[in-house]
Amino acid sequence: MDPARTAPSHAASPTPATPLVVVEDLARTFDVSAPWLNRVLERKPRQWLHAVDGVSFDIPRGQTLALVGESGCGKSTVARLLVGLYRPTRGRFVFDGQDAHAAYGSAQGRQLRRRIQMIFQDPYASLNPRWRVEDIIAEPLREHGLLSDAAALRERVGELLRSVGLSPHDMVKYPHQFSGGQRQRISIARALATKPDFLVCDEPTSALDVSVQAQVLNIMKDLQRQQGLTYLFISHNLAVVRHVSDQVGVMYLGRLVELADKRTLFAQPRHPYTRMLLEAIPKLHATGQARTPVQGEVPNPLNPPSGCAFHPRCPHADARCKAERPALQTIGGVRVACHAVQEGRI
């Protein structure tokens, strides 16, 4: 008998791929104190705004994580931290195994920025009105030294315009000659110019009407399939998030309160805040039924509540919720920060 046939196999079993994006305990605090003289004369203490406070998540290569929440919850600050527009107060952003914030300040920073690009919210403000489309899209190619020949630049710009559903003939035009949806397509083409791996999309469709939103989102999904792109998608529109995301993270006052697979989160939301957001969405099959509006207001971030920040608006809050801030824990495959869920009360 052949020993090779009878010997047990010691081949390593396949392991899950390392996520492209790993965010660990990311935080950003801003000093919003009054000027020194005012503080001395009025005897005021320094004030700190905890815009992002201990956010952690992973994004597998080729997938989309959406961050949602009400205005001021910190989701756009997370976006700016990941692209290096802000330095974190604490925490790490690891991109493809590399500490990104350490690299941003080193010789590897330029290479890293080529692989991480951002699509901004306002297509009217993010494009230089004095530049032709050709110059707008070609700028990152020139800055990163990817192309220098004029003919090659024009050819590449034409390819990028075609990839977002525009004509190469549009490169001689100025931004004011395009609609909002077309301008956002130009912004996407510019972000794709350096062949990035990771796109941070800060509410890229919020300034567009619904029909144009659908066109832009479909283009982004097609590009993701074709090029294997990884997205962080910032939005307050849950219908958009349901269309584009693989995972959804819900933020409240600078912290993640729930992180789950898209289907799980929309079918069985666990955190009371997530439930409140989803219940506020109009439903076609619920004609004539009363809607549950979003209750209360977001607390002042300069003076947040003790314990769980959501407890003043939560119908399940108890004494522990008011005194102790819940940690994000995995329960039934969902990461949730809620004492009521962890104790089985809801």
pLDDT of residue 57: 97
- Residue 235 sits at the vertex; the CA angle it makes with 230 and 239, to the nearest 5 degrees, is 100
Q: Tell me the mean pLDDT in the region 101-124.
A: 89
49: β partners: 30
Query: Each residue of 93-107: pLDDT tens digit?
Result: 999 999 999 898 787
pLDDT of residue 313: 92
pLDDT of residue 116: 96
Residue type, position 196, single letter: P
Query: Each residue of 160-173: pLDDT tens digit?
Result: 999 999 999 999 99
- CA–CA gap between residue 241 and residue 269 (Å, rounded): 15
pTM > 0.85: yes or no: yes
- CA–CA gap between residue 68 and residue 257 (Å, rounded): 11
- CA–CA gap between residue 268 and residue 246 (Å, rounded): 15
pLDDT of residue 147: 84
Range in 10-24, 184-198, 247-261 with the lowest mean pLDDT: 10-24
Q: Tell me the mean pLDDT in the region 101-119.
A: 89
Query: Each residue of 248-293: pLDDT tens digit?
Result: 999 999 999 999 999 999 999 999 999 999 987 766 665 555 555 6
pLDDT of residue 173: 96
Q: If pLDDT is split at 50, 70 and 90, which confidence band does 139 have?
A: very high
pLDDT of residue 220: 94
Do 111 and 179 form a contact (C-beta atoms < 8 A)? no
pLDDT of residue 15: 40
- CA–CA gap between residue 164 and residue 216 (Å, rounded): 8
Question: Which residues make Cβ contacts (< 8 Å) with residue 340, sequence separation at least 6?
Answer: 272, 314, 316, 317, 318, 321, 346
Do 300 and 318 form a contact (C-beta atoms < 8 A)? no
Work out the mean pLDDT of the chain and round it to a whole number: 89
Higher pLDDT, 147 or 57: 57
For residue 178, give Cα distances in angstroms to 125, 169, 335. 13, 13, 43
Percentage of the chain surpassing pLDDT 90?
A: 70
- Give the chain's domains with CATH numbers: 21-245 (3.40.50.300), 253-281+306-346 (no CATH)
pLDDT of residue 7: 41
Query: In which residue are the tokens 């220098």 written?
Result: 148
Query: Each residue of 331-345: pLDDT tens digit?
Result: 988 999 999 999 998
Range in 65-74, 175-184, 287-296 with the lowest mean pLDDT: 287-296
pLDDT of residue 76: 94
Residue 77 above 60 pLDDT?
yes
pLDDT of residue 289: 55
pLDDT of residue 17: 60
- CA–CA gap between residue 185 and residue 177 (Å, rounded): 13
For residue 238, give Cα distances in angstroms to 86, 124, 245. 27, 24, 10
pLDDT of residue 291: 56
Q: If pLDDT is split at 50, 70 and 90, which confidence band does 11 have?
A: very low
Do 227 and 62 form a contact (C-beta atoms < 8 A)? no
